[in-house]
Amino acid sequence: MTRSLTLTRPDDFHLHLRDGAMLAGVAPETARHFARAIIMPNLVPPVVTGAQADSYRQRIMAALPGAAFTPLMTLYLTEASDPADIVAAHRAGMIAAVKLYPAGATTNSDSGVRRFDAVRPTLEAMAEAGVPLCVHGEVTDPEIDIFDREAVFIDRVLDPIRRATPGLRVIMEHVTTADAVAYVQAAASDLAATITTHHLIINRNHILAGGIRPHYYCLPVAKREIHRRALVHAALSGDARFFLGTDSAPHADPAKESACGCAGCFTATNTMPILAELFEREGALDRLEPFVAHHGADFYGLPRNPGRLTLMRQAEPVRFPARIETGAGPVTVFDPGFAVHWRVSEPV
Ligand code: DOR
Ligand code: ZN
């Protein structure tokens, strides 16, 4: 049996770090294991301009003194976004991508896009300049059942955008359905998808059967087991269009354990051990490195990391903290619901 596994140092291609005291509390959890992360711009107010992204990047670096970690910044797409500012920020290396939130789809998405035609000139400028678009793929139409919102988004929004904007490189974020997996598999190499840690592990029963479990609630919400299996299959397949984006999204516990709880699972602390356990169970430990360290960098046109990360297999289950304390309150760490025998070997 494998006792240790050394990988190219991984990247997280979808991460929420927040700001202020929460940023200070959660950023080290990611920087401990990951070399880089795509940083979501859904702050309040959102990160819209290149200048705002640069100042947020500096706050992230200030929260991580001495860490060898590179935040890859994104801009929040609004109907008033300035295409010239986006292209200039990308050219200057200040941003790696732009994020599209349909207005009202999720946490702090009110400034997102309502009329997709309004952002067409921006998307065209991005296609021309090679700026990738990260997409939260859910419709917000209240008539559409929440479990169908991703599949409907593909037909109503994503496919029309991609047809209207040839050359636009798109990352469908946190895919949760067999429909999205099939759509990505059928597309050309200008489309990729991130998969979260938690969507590889939980289905909708985990959220709702035997009591409501707020720490398993996120958006897009986890779907049926058949969809989870499709995600696992995609992650293990070696298809370079699928890669890790944890969507680790911290909320202080009172905001989750509430009559109207926030969406988000906090997985930064134990993602790598959990994924090692999952890939090992699936008999595919050799597929972990490409999924967490190769495919995403290749799609974004970034060099693969020179550093390494070593995971050690333990005879006994490893205990992770149930929660971390931050200046913004306690944040519960994702519980995969099964024993994890891997830990990251920390440099001495
Ligand atoms: O569960 C989620 N939490 N999904 C998102 O799209 C946003 C995120 C957050 O910012 O809390
Ligand atoms: Zn997210």
Tens digits of residue pLDDT in 54-103: 999 999 999 999 999 999 999 999 999 999 999 999 999 999 999 999 99
Pocket mutation for ligand 1, best pick of 44, 76, 173, 247 (most atoms within 8 Å of C-beta):
247
Estimate to the nearest angstrom the gap between the alpha carbon of 289 and the chain centroid: 17
User: In the structure, what pLDDT confidence band is assigned to residue 347 with cuts at 50, 70 and 90?
Assistant: low
0.95 cut: is pTM over it? yes
Distance CA 244, CA 5 (A): 18
Q: What angle do CA 107, 110, 112 make, to 5 degrees?
A: 100
Say which residues have a Cβ less than 8 Å from residue 160's Cβ, sequence separation at least 6. 116
Residue owning tokens 């880089």 = 36
Look at ligand 1, atom 10, and give the residue with the nearest C-alpha.
107
Q: Are strands 342-344 and 170-172 parallel, antiparallel or unpaired?
A: unpaired
pLDDT value at residue 79: 95
Q: Which residues of 296-311 are buried (b: 16+ CB within 10 A; e: fewer)?
A: bbbbbeeebbeeebeb
pLDDT in tens, 170-199: 999 999 999 999 999 999 999 999 999 999
Predicted confidence at residue 139, as pLDDT, reads 95
Strand blocks (E) in the chain: 4-8, 11-15, 36-39, 70-76, 97-100, 133-135, 170-172, 191-195, 242-244, 308-313, 323-326, 329-332, 342-344
Q: Which atom of ligand 1 is nearest to the CA of 217?
A: 1
Active site annotation includes 298: no
- Residues 1-59 have pLDDT tens digits of 659 999 999 999 999 999 999 999 999 999 999 999 999 999 999 999 999 999 999 99
Structure letter (DSSP) for residue 111: T
- CATH number for the domain harbouring residue 207: 3.20.20.140
C-alpha dihedral, 250 to 35 to 201 to 74, nearest 10° = 60
Query: pLDDT (tens digit, 9 = 90+) per residue, 319-346?
Result: 999 999 999 999 999 999 999 999 999 7
- Give the residue numbers spanning the domain of 289: 4-344
Average the pLDDT over 238-267 and give the result. 98
Domain count within the chain: 1
